Amino acid sequence: MHITAPFQLLLVALAATQSSASPLAAPAPGEVEARTITHNTIGKRSFWTSCNSCSIGGSGDNPYLLCMCRRTNGLYSNAQLYLNTCLANRNGKLSWARNGNFGRSCWGHRVESDGWFVSTCSRSGGSTMNGIPLKHVHNRDGALVCSGF
């Protein structure tokens, strides 16, 4: 099979990107962290397998995760989880903590299609954008809860 030169270069570039990417490596200063996420990373018991149409709602410093979640009877219902009850800002890095109130010092919140929550948080000397997998968020009969940390 004959492959044209531009296509060969694209394949080489893709291969180099794939082989050097490390989902656990820390991002360089000023860069958003790259990651490879599967349902195994988020967790088999996570809300990610039984909820859909997730978004972030709420005002400024009190954001919540809003999803349509399957109940044990098979029907779906609206579910929300105030994220201040689960997350903290530790000098610009999101972490799991009971009543961490991260919303007071973070902004620009979003939930991504791979199950990560991303926000920009203040830290000493400025701010940084970072993310955390929502592996401690669970669906309990149509209600979102955080546990296991």
Q: How far is CA 47 from CA 19, 68, 82, 109, 121, in A?
A: 31, 10, 15, 19, 25
Kindly state the helix (H) or strand (E) to which residue 10 belongs, with its residue range: helix 5-20
Q: What is the mean pLDDT of the chain?
A: 75
Percent of the chain with pLDDT over 90: 56
Residue 59 lies inside a defined structural domain of this protein = yes
Would you place residue 28 in the very low, low, confident or very high pLDDT band (cuts 50, 70, 90)?
very low
What CA–CA distance (Å, rounded) separates 1 from 84? 56
Above 50 in pLDDT, residue 100? yes
Would you place residue 38 in the very low, low, confident or very high pLDDT band (cuts 50, 70, 90)?
very low
Residue 13 lies inside a defined structural domain of this protein = no
Would you place residue 66 in the very low, low, confident or very high pLDDT band (cuts 50, 70, 90)?
very high
Residue 125 lies inside a defined structural domain of this protein = yes
CATH at 96: 2.30.60.10
Q: Is the pTM of this model over 0.85?
A: no
Residue 27 lies inside a defined structural domain of this protein = no
- Please state the domain count of the chain: 1
Residue-range definition of the domain harbouring residue 47? 35-146
Residue 15 lies inside a defined structural domain of this protein = no
What CA–CA distance (Å, rounded) separates 93 from 131? 8
Residue 140 lies inside a defined structural domain of this protein = yes
Above 50 in pLDDT, residue 90? yes
